[in-house]
């Protein structure tokens, strides 16, 4: 028998993929923007911590959702690289989940904030210092709100041992 790849998506993962794509895209394009210095806090970033619970369908869905949102907001060629860096950070959260989802979320914030610190001065003309402060704070706030929701969901989730057979 051939071994199934751990990255391959199954048909039942499609719904999760679509939901996370919609969460990011609709959360960014459809909800009011929350300004923080030179950066807009994106509601879709809050779903990042849920990658630890939902796995690769959520990783790929959030990355695609960011790509779609960037098409609607900022379609500059350099900005279109953001989903790639986000994908990297989401994969870090996914692999860090066994040790610490919080550490994975911090790594995601650092990876994406460093990228945004480079990107914002190019696209908006602000200083690198202002870009660093605003991107780190914006990412941190959004991802930590999502982490809090993730922790709440994990505590409310029934344990595997308490379910009847």
Predicted confidence at residue 4, as pLDDT, reads 45
Instruction: Specify the long-range contacts of residues 42-47, CB closer than 8 Å, at least 24 apart.
Output: 42/69, 42/138, 42/142, 43/142, 44/69, 45/112, 45/139, 45/142, 45/143, 45/146, 46/142, 46/143, 46/145, 46/146, 46/149, 47/20, 47/23, 47/146
pLDDT tens digit at each of 165 positions of the chain: 444 445 666 878 899 999 999 999 988 888 777 776 666 778 889 999 999 999 999 999 999 999 998 886 666 777 788 899 999 999 999 999 999 999 999 999 999 999 999 988 888 888 999 989 988 998 999 999 999 999 999 988 766 554 444
Predicted confidence at residue 6, as pLDDT, reads 57
Predicted confidence at residue 111, as pLDDT, reads 96
Q: Where does 13-155 sit in CATH, by number?
A: 1.10.1760
Predicted confidence at residue 30, as pLDDT, reads 82
Predicted confidence at residue 29, as pLDDT, reads 82
Predicted confidence at residue 108, as pLDDT, reads 97
Predicted confidence at residue 7, as pLDDT, reads 62
């Amino acid at each position: 028998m051939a071994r199934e790849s751990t990255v391959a998506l199954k048909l039942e993962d499609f719904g999760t993929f679509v939901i996370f794509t919609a969460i990011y895209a609709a959360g960014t394009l459809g909800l009011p923007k929350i300004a923080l210095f030179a950066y807009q806090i994106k509601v879709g970033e809050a779903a990042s911590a849920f990658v630890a619970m939902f796995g690769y369908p959520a990783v790929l869905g959030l990355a695609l959702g960011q790509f779609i949102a960037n098409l609607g907001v900022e379609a500059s060629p350099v900005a279109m690289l953001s989903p790639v860096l986000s994908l990297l950070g989401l994969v870090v959260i996914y692999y860090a989940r066994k040790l610490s989802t919080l550490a994975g979320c911090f790594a995601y914030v650092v990876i994406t904030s460093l990228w945004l610190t480079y990107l914002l001065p190019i696209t908006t003309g602000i200083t690198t210092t202002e870009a660093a402060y605003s991107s780190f704070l914006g990412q941190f706030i959004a991802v930590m709100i999502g982490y809090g929701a993730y922790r709440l969901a994990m505590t409310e989730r029934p344990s595997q041992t308490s379910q009847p057979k």
